[in-house]
């Protein structure tokens, strides 16, 4: 049957009821895509001064509706596979769709304030954010290698452009070029790996791959090479060492809201992809990819934490911290099982709030001259604006893993799953690495609470302040009442394991 | 519910301080500290010595998916430490100088520390215990760093926190290991105490957990952070820092290592290693105390030496030794803060803490000298004062374990009068015919006025501690009586 015939038969066997059913499974993604197109049109049609606010309103409305769709489906117990198994609306996807909707809303308010202060165009940034969000959500929902790749590219292309958004800023341009080249390189790895896995299994659908690859095929060199390629490509995307070199430069060069957004968004989406592809599609060769990921995890935790100590820019510091945090999350992926995947989902939500909050604090320091992301710029922040200082302290302590903040509980879940899975040695390395991390997280705190000569009170910025406050409160509340998200994480983890046949 | 109030009230006080003007901060903090002291006394009065198991229990499921519960309870071991914590915080608040910079922050951190330590003494769930254990680091870090009295606060604070974290993060692995390897799938201490993993696993878990506790105590050779941290800490904070936080490590040994891991044997037996380290600590602390010129460091190292007795008592693995250790925890918590306060007051009057230049202060401050004498005698273990009771019980226990350990510890005990009396005599009295030494004669004369005796408010702060030293020395039954009412089963049952 050639391609033309296949298309023809599909068209015949595709009744409207099924079309509607399929669409309802990807309702959050579709909503955002529509919102993005409407926003582009509005941007083209409206008079210049009104473009920014209108696009922001459209984006916000799209995100709220997307969240509502995802939440509604979640309450009904989750959706199912759609479009002939290419995407799904299961609880795993819904968990990420809700997370990304919240992240999108927080990004909107921070971007809005940021572009105002720096005198940049507003509308395009929101549109790029929406495009990236569509890609991220699709990545979490993708259950075929084809959709995985398309979603990955959607997200990456939007972020390449967003990184270079500050057009007169050469570091921003440099970062964009670097990100594009390295990102393209990583995509090639992923694509090559997919081709090899397809060659070994005969299908691009993850459940089919899982069925085709039985344990005795583990010695198949084509398959192993494919798995290695995928692991390398994925490691680029989660900025796992030794494939992390692009991260600090890109994070430093990109405009602050973009850095904040991608530092958590890309990471969450990439982890969704790893769990989906490795955890459900390639579950039968888990021994192979566990070794590879354990190598990446150890290197990430050690290199990320050590390199972060010597940074003088908070953006770079958080970039290296992100590399190390990715290492901790990989520990959960390696542990696998329901608890392991749930721990990663929990930690990702926690990470979104802690890390985004920290970047949002930096946004308040932005003025017309540019960003002020050096550690010295933070000096005395606690006295210039006490609530902001306290919240920055909360984010740093949470990232460092101090109770009763959410970062501690998140690490506890990850490590618990890993010890239960027999990965105690990996956990010991992880805790020793996180001792190192305390040195630089506390360095930020040290600067915040060191009295400085500059006593000028910071200008108020309502948008970022709301995002900072919300993140800070969530970091505390989820630390004290972790079950709120843990239950969601366990529910979200279930479909992947069912698909893996556990 | 009352137990939740015991730890939550100081924490709320810390929050409340953010909203009161600086002038009233001290009063508000004192109110909260006093209120929590009253609460702990209510618990102490209502405590039933005949009852076995936790009292005033509160047990709410916290993370049911992983068997974690918010389980609080008080028993014979934790009861008096709880009271000590509340009492010392009251003293610390009153000992805070009115000119303390950033007063509100300081007091709120002090109250936060009290809350965290109270929670730690109350926790009957291993993970909850760990949460408070880590939580108390944050206020301690800020207090050492931001309110350092002298020297490099930042360096001392970082050193303290890195030292402590190496231990406590490995302890997190140990906590998880307890959950996994016992097969209990629960963090409840009483439940874990009846489910022991095999000795090999216990050996590993003992290392992971014990290291954290040994660093916090600190047990020789893990005391590297202590001289720096004690050296820079402001005195009011030292009252709770040295008085209570060191005890959290010893308390954790008694509460977790002893009942949960009774047979930590694989390549060697950890239970045999610990008393040896304790005796080494007694010696090392005493010798270092002898070598110090700074009065504060003399007290700091004497604290290391005393903590050795506590650990020796705990790992004598019998009732006398372990009860002696608990008594000694209280004694140490009463004596060391009193010594730090006295040293600080002497330093405030003379402008120096250097033992070699201080001389002949007794004529100028007779009352302070008298108080100093009582505290000194208590510290070196004079019969009739509190420390004697604890040390005697500890040595009795150690003798039953290994007579040579008790003999060695006794030799260490002889060193205590040497460094304590040498300090007291040197500072307060001069040899016949001797005058004030060089620097003080020129620079210090004006500072040490004719009468520079202890003030009324200072006396009010220290007298409760002195009275406790005498009272517990004469009637220790008060504290030992409810002690056998244990919350969790011990390998050696207390009667």
Q: What is the pLDDT of residues A409-424, one digit of tens each?
A: 999 999 999 999 999 9
User: Within a domain: residue B365?
Assistant: yes
The token pair that represents B385 in the structure block: 């004062």
Which residues in A lie closer than 8 A to residue B8 (C-beta atoms)?
Answer: none
Residue B17 with chain A: CB contacts under 8 Å:
none
Cβ atoms of B317 and B401 within 8 Å: the answer is yes
How many interface pairs between A and B have CB atoms less than 8 angstroms apart?
71
Is the per-residue pLDDT at A1 higher than 50? no
Q: For chain B, how big is the Rg over CA atoms in Å? A: 22
Would the CB atoms of B170 and A427 count as touching at under 8 Å?
Answer: no
Contact A154, A131 (CB under 8 A): yes
Asked if residue B428 belongs to a domain, the reply is yes
> What is the per-residue pLDDT for B443?
46
pLDDT in tens, A343-366: 999 999 999 999 999 999 998 888
Looking at the domain assignment, is residue B94 inside a domain?
no
Instruction: Classify A42 as helix, strand or coil.
Output: helix
A 419-448 residues inside an 8 A Cβ radius of B: 419-420, 424, 427-428, 431-432, 434-435, 438-439, 442, 446
pLDDT at residue A90, as a whole number = 92
CA-wise closest residue to A352 among A7, A24, A104, A50 = A104
Contact between B65 and A483 using a beta-carbon 8 Å cutoff? yes
Q: Is B434 exposed, middle or buried (0-12, 13-18, 19+ CB in 10 A)?
A: exposed
| CA atoms of B328 and B325, how far apart (whole Å) | 5
Residues 6 or more apart whose Cβ sits within 8 Å of residue A99: A268, A348, A349, A352
Domain region containing B431 = 279-495
Number of domains in chain A: 1
**Residue A129 counted as domain residue:** yes
Note the helical H segments in B217-269: 225-232, 235-240, 246-252, 258-260
CA neighbor of A267 nearest in space, from A222, A236, A297: A236
| Residues in chain A closer than 8 A to B131 (CB atoms) | 403-404, 408
Q: Find, in chain B, the residue whose alpha carbon is nearest to that of A382.
A: B105
Task: Specify the pLDDT at position A284.
Answer: 85
In a domain, B444, yes or no: yes
Cα A77 to chain centroid distance, Å, stands at 24
Q: Is A310 on the interface with B (CB under 8 A)?
A: no
Does the beta-carbon distance from A416 to B179 stay under 8 Å? Answer: yes
Question: Are B65 and A431 in contact (CB < 8 Å)?
Answer: no
Is residue B338 in some structural domain?
Answer: yes
Mean residue pLDDT of chain A comes to 90
A398: in domain: yes
Distance from CA of B109 to the nearest CA of A (A): 13
∠ CA A473-A474-A478 to the nearest 5 degrees?
A: 125
Interchain proximity B172–A431, CB inside 8 Å: yes
A415 and B127: CB-CB below 8 Å? no
Q: For position A259, what pLDDT does the model report?
A: 94
A82: left (phi over 0), alpha (psi -120 to 50) or beta: beta
Q: Is residue B287 part of a domain?
A: yes
Question: Chain B neighbours among A 240-299 (CB < 8 Å)?
Answer: none
pLDDT tier for residue A465 given thresholds of 50, 70 and 90: confident
Q: Which two tokens stand for residue B275?
A: 């008393």
In the predicted structure, residue A11 carries a pLDDT above the cut 80: no
- Beta-carbon neighbour count of residue B151 at 10 Å? 12
- Per-residue model confidence (pLDDT) at position A99: 96
Partner B contacted by A403 (CB < 8 A): yes
Mutate: best of A386, A419, A491, partner B, most B CBs <10 A: A419
Whole-number Å distance between alpha carbons of A264 and A269: 9
Kindly state whether residue A360 falls inside one of the protein's structural domains: yes
* List of chain B residues whose C-beta atoms are within 8 Å of the C-beta of residue A412: 127, 172, 176
Alpha-carbon distance of A476 to B445, in angstroms, equals 54
Residue B435 C-alpha, separation from nearest chain A C-alpha, in angstroms: 44
Report the alpha-carbon distance of residue A214 to residue B472 in Å, rounded: 73
Q: Is residue A287 a contact partner of residue A334, using CB atoms and an 8 Å limit? A: no
Tell me whether residues A403 and B135 touch, CB distance under 8 A: yes
Q: Could you tell me if residue B314 is inside a domain? A: yes
User: Helix, strand, coil: what percent of chain A each, to 5?
Assistant: 80, 0, 15
> Are B170 and A428 an interchain contact pair (Cβ–Cβ within 8 Å)?
yes
B176 contacts in chain A (CB < 8 Å): 412, 415-416, 419, 427
Residue B159's closest chain A neighbor by CA? A439
B65: closest CA of chain A, how far (Å): 8
Q: The tokens of A214 are what?
A: 């039985």
Yes or no, beta carbons of B170 and A449 under 8 Å apart: no
Looking at residue A4, what is its pLDDT? Answer: 47
In a domain, A9, yes or no: no
Query: CA A65, CA A25: separation in Å to the nearest integer?
Result: 14
Please give the Cα distance from A350 to A446 (Å, whole number). 23
| Cβ-based interface (< 8 Å): residues of B facing A | 62-66, 127, 130-132, 134-135, 137-138, 141-142, 145-146, 154, 158, 161-162, 165-166, 169-170, 172-173, 176-177, 179-180
Describe the crossing of helices B153-181 and A406-420 by its angle, rounded to 10 degrees: 40
Q: What is d(CA A112, CA A57) in angstroms, rounded to the nearest whole number?
A: 11
Angle between helices B225-232 and B295-314 (to 10 degrees): 130
Instruction: Give whole-number Cα distances, A291 to A295, A297, A298, in Å.
Output: 6, 10, 11
Residue A473 lies in a domain: yes
Contact by Cβ (8 Å): B231, B150: yes
ipTM of the complex: 0.89
The pLDDT value given to residue B427: 83
Search chain B and give the residue with CA nearest A443.
Answer: B158
When divided into structural domains, chain B yields a total of: 1
Q: What is the pLDDT of residue B446?
A: 47
CB half-sphere exposure, A259, CA atoms < 13 A? 33
Are A329 and A79 in contact by the 8 Å Cβ rule? The answer is no
Asked, for residue A296, whether it belongs to a domain, the answer is yes
Range of the domain at A451: 23-499
Give the closest-approach CA distance of A90 to chain B in angstroms: 22
For chain A, helix (H) and strand (E) counts, in that order, are 21, 2
CA nearest to A440 within chain B: B158
Q: Which residues of A touch B158 (CB under 8 A)?
A: 439, 442
> pLDDT class for A216, splitting at 50, 70, 90?
low
Distance from CA of B301 to the nearest CA of A (A): 27
> Average pLDDT of each block of 10 consecutive residues along chain B (495 residues)?
91 89 89 94 91 89 90 91 94 89 89 94 93 92 87 87 90 91 86 88 92 92 90 92 92 92 89 92 92 90 92 92 92 93 88 80 84 92 89 92 91 88 84 56 49 81 92 90 86 79
Element (H, E) at B71: strand B68-74
Overall pTM surpassing 0.90 (yes/no) = yes
């Amino acid at each position: 049957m050639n391609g033309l015939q296949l298309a023809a038969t599909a068209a015949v066997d595709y009744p409207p009821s099924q079309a509607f059913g399929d669409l309802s499974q990807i309702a959050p993604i579709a909503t955002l895509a529509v919102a993005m197109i409407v926003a582009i049109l509005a941007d083209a049609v409206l008079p210049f001064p009104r473009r920014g606010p209108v696009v922001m309103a459209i984006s916000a409305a799209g995100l709220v509706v997307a969240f509502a769709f995802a939440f509604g489906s979640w309450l009904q117990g989750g959706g199912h596979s759609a479009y002939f198994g290419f995407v799904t609306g299961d609880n795993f996807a819904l968990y990420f769709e809700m997370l990304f909707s919240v992240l999108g809303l927080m990004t909107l308010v921070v971007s809005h304030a940021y572009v105002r202060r720096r005198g940049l165009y507003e509308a395009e940034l929101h549109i790029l954010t929406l495009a990236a969000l569509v890609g991220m959500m699709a990545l979490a929902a993708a259950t075929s290698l084809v959709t995985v790749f398309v979603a990955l590219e959607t997200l990456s292309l939007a972020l390449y452009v967003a990184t270079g958004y500050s057009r007169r800023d050469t570091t921003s341009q440099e970062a964009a070029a670097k990100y594009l080249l390295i990102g393209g390189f990583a995509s090639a790895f992923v694509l090559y790996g997919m081709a090899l896995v397809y060659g070994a299994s005969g299908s691009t659908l993850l459940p089919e791959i899982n069925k085709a690859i039985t344990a005795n095929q583990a010695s198949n060199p084509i398959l192993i090479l494919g798995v290695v390629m995928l692991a390398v490509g994925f490691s680029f995307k989660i900025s796992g060492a030794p494939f992390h070199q692009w991260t600090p430069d890109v994070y430093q060069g990109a405009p602050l809201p973009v850095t904040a957004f991608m530092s958590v968004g890309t990471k969450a989406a990439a982890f969704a992809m790893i769990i989906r592809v490795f955890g459900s599609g390639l579950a039968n060769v888990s021994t192979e990819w566990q070794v590879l990921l354990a190598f990446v995890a150890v290197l990430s935790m050690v290199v990320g934490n050590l390199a972060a100590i010597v940074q003088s820019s908070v953006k770079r510091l958080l970039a290296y911290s992100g590399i190390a945090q990715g290492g901790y999350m990989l520990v959960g992926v390696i542990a696998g099982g329901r608890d392991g995947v749930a721990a990663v989902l929990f930690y990702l939500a926690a990470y979104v709030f802690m890390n985004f909050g920290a970047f949002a604090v930096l946004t308040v320091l932005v003025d017309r001259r540019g960003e002020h992301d050096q550690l010295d710029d933070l000096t005395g922040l606690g006295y210039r604006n006490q609530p902001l200082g306290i919240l920055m302290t909360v984010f740093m302590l949470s990232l460092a893993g101090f109770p009763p903040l959410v970062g501690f509980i998140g690490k506890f879940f990850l490590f618990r799953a890993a010890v239960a899975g027999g990965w105690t040695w990996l956990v010991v390395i992880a805790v020793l690495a996180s001792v190192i991390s305390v040195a630089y997280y506390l360095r930020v705190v040290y600067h915040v609470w060191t009295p400085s000569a500059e006593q000028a009170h910071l200008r108020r910025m309502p948008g970022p302040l709301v995002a900072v406050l919300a993140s800070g409160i969530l970091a505390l509340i989820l630390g004290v009442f972790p079950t709120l998200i843990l239950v969601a994480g366990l529910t979200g983890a279930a479909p992947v394991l069912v698909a893996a046949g556990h | 519910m009352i137990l939740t109030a015991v730890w939550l009230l100081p924490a709320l006080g810390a929050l409340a301080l953010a909203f009161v003007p600086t002038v009233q901060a001290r009063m508000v903090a004192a109110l909260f500290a006093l209120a929590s002291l009253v609460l702990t006394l209510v618990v102490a009065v209502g405590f039933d010595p005949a009852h076995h198991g936790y009292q005033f229990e509160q047990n709410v499921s916290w993370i049911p998916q992983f068997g974690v519960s918010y389980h609080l309870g008080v028993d014979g071991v934790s009861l008096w430490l709880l009271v000590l914590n509340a009492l010392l915080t009251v003293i610390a608040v009153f000992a805070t100088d009115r000119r303390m910079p950033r007063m509100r922050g300081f007091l709120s951190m002090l109250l936060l520390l009290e809350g965290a330590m109270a929670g730690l003494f109350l926790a009957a769930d291993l993970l909850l215990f760990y949460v408070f254990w880590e939580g108390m680091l944050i206020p301690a870090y800020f207090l050492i760093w931001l309110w350092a009295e002298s020297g490099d606060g930042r360096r001392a604070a970082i050193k303290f926190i890195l030292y402590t974290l190496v231990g406590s993060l490995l302890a997190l692995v140990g906590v998880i290991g307890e959950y996994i390897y016992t097969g209990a799938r629960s963090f409840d201490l009483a439940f874990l105490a009846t489910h022991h993993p095999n000795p090999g696993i216990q050996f590993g878990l003992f290392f992971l957990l014990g290291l954290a506790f040994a660093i916090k105590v600190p047990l020789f050779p893990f005391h590297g952070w202590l001289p720096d941290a004690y050296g820079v800490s402001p005195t009011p904070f030292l009252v709770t820092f040295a008085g209570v936080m060191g005890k959290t490590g010893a308390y954790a040994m008694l509460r977790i290592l002893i009942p949960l891991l009774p047979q930590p044997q694989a390549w060697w037996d950890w239970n045999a290693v610990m008393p040896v380290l304790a005796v080494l600590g007694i010696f090392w602390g005493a010798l270092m105390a002898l070598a110090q010129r700074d009065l504060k460091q003399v007290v700091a190292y004497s604290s290391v030496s005393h903590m050795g007795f506590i650990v020796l008592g705990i790992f004598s693995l019998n009732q006398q030794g372990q009860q002696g250790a608990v008594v000694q925890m209280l004694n140490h918590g009463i004596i060391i803060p009193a010594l730090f306060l006295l040293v600080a007051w002497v330093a405030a009057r003379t402008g120096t803490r250097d033992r070699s230049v201080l001389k002949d202060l007794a004529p100028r401050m007779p009352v302070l000298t008298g108080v100093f004498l009582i505290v000194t005698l208590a510290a070196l273990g004079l019969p009739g004062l509190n420390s004697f009771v604890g040390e005697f019980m500890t040595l009795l226990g150690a003798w039953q374990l290994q007579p040579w350990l008790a003999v060695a510890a006794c030799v260490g005990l002889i060193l205590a009068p040497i460094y304590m009396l040498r300090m007291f005599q040197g500072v307060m009295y001069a040899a016949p015919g001797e005058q004030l030494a060089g620097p003080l004669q020129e620079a210090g004369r004006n500072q040490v006025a004719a009468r520079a005796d202890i003030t009324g408010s200072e006396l009010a702060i220290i007298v409760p501690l002195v009275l406790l030293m005498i009272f517990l020395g004469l009637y220790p039954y008060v504290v030992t009586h409810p002690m056998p009412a244990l919350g969790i089963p011990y390998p050696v049952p207390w009667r």
